[in-house]
Amino acid sequence: MSKTHQECLRVLEVIRWQGKPRCPYCDSTSASAFKSEQRYHCNTCFTSYSVTVGTLFHQTHVDLHKWFHALELVLKASRAVSVRQLAQEVGVSKNTASYMIARIRKAVEEESELLQELVRLLD
Ligand SMILES: [Zn+2]
């Protein structure tokens, strides 16, 4: 699996918004797209956002394709994935790998619908 960051964002936009931007702060669907980065400007509350706001991917400084890879490893593995293994396979530090595993476990409880859809689409 070798998706680009942009492709990962698009996958998330389809899952969370059915492709139509929705402001995570005020729920407005009136948005202007920025030319780059797949960020949006809300025409109702004037904040800018991307599809990752409010998800486990928000403000982590880890590329989305690495997150998606980690999700596959953690959620599809028959045995628990170790921090060392995740760090090696995804290409992040052990600290980051440890954080990602903890964050994914938390998301399994809090964002289960999103994760289920993602894992289905990642096949
Ligand atoms: Zn808004």
CA of 42 from ligand 1 middle (Å) equals 5
Model pLDDT, residue 2: 59
pLDDT digits (tens, 9 = 90+) for 61-117: 899 999 999 999 999 887 889 999 999 999 999 999 999 999 999 999 999 999 999
DSSP H helices in the chain: 5-17, 64-76, 83-90, 94-110, 112-122
CA of 114 from ligand 1 middle (Å) equals 21
Band (4; pLDDT cuts 50, 70, 90): confident
CA of 79 from ligand 1 middle (Å) equals 42
CA of 53 from ligand 1 middle (Å) equals 12
- HSE-CB at 50 with a 13 A cutoff on CA atoms is 19
Q: Is the pLDDT of residue 47 over 60?
A: yes
CA of 37 from ligand 1 middle (Å) equals 18
Domain boundaries, the chain: 5-49, 64-122
Q: Is the pLDDT of residue 6 over 90?
A: no
* 95-106 per-residue burial string, b: 16 or more CB within 10 A, e: under 16: ebbbebbebbee
Q: Which residue has the higher pLDDT, 120 or 3?
A: 120
